[in-house]
Amino acid sequence: MQTEERTPARVTGTTIGYLYVCPRELWFFQNHIEMEHTSDLVSMGKLLHEESYNREKRKERPIDERNLVDFIDKDGILHDVKSSPSMQKAHEMQMLYYLYLLKQKGAPNRKGVINYPRQRRTVEVELTPEQEHEVEEAIQEVKRISDLPTPPDIAFMKICKSCSYMELCWS
């Protein structure tokens, strides 16, 4: 397996989310290994990003040069819109990472909401000291996995069946 010249691991909300979806896919993403997406195979990444909600109706707002949230409401609450809560932990950690970044920038005590419009459901997220520690551990884990010389071995998961890396991982 060939990879491009290694660069320092980039940590973003997306990579934090990948960590909780599949560490192996995180490694592929960080090492620029992409697969052709066929009509019936869906990148797990799409489960991290809302693909059906009309993005044009939202006003994506930058947290910094690498991270965006879908919108910030009039009360200053960050919102991300997702299609399914099947990856809720990944969505929550992604939002917690944004709240962590804002705290680092001198804006503590911000809140986030994950919106699941199809399910008419919302999940509120706040950065407690425990969760701040969890985010810091996740950042270190993203760096560690990204810098591995080969993708980490993991057990087969149900989501593998719909992942674009299925053939690469399991054939």
Residues near ligand SF4 (CB under 6 A) are 22, 24-25, 44, 154, 157, 159-160, 163, 165-166, 169
Distance of closest approach, residue 48 Cβ to ligand SF4, in angstroms: 12
- Smallest distance from ligand SF4 to CB 156, Å: 7
Q: Measured from the CB atom, is 39 or 54 closer to ligand SF4?
A: 39
CB 97 within 8 Å of CB 103:
no
CB closer to ligand SF4, 38 vs 54: 38
Output the smallest distance, CB 157 to ligand SF4, in A: 6
- Residue 86: CB minimum distance to ligand SF4, A: 13
Token output for 82 = 């997702």
Q: Between 139 and 160, name the residue whose CB sits nearer to ligand SF4.
A: 160
Shorter beta-carbon distance to ligand SF4: residue 24 or 110: 24
| Nearest distance from C-beta of residue 25 to ligand SF4, angstroms | 4
SS3 of the chain: CCCCCCCCCCCCHHHHHHHHHCHHHHHHHHCCCCCCCCCCCCCCHHHHCCCCCCHHHCCCEECCCCCEECEECCCCCEEEECCCHHHHHHHHHHHHHHHHHHHHCCCCCCEEEEEEHHHCEEEEEECCHHHHHHHHHHHHHHHHHHCCCCCCCCCCCHHHHHCCCHHHHHC
Q: Rank residues 21 and 127 by Cβ distance to ligand SF4 and give the closer one.
A: 21
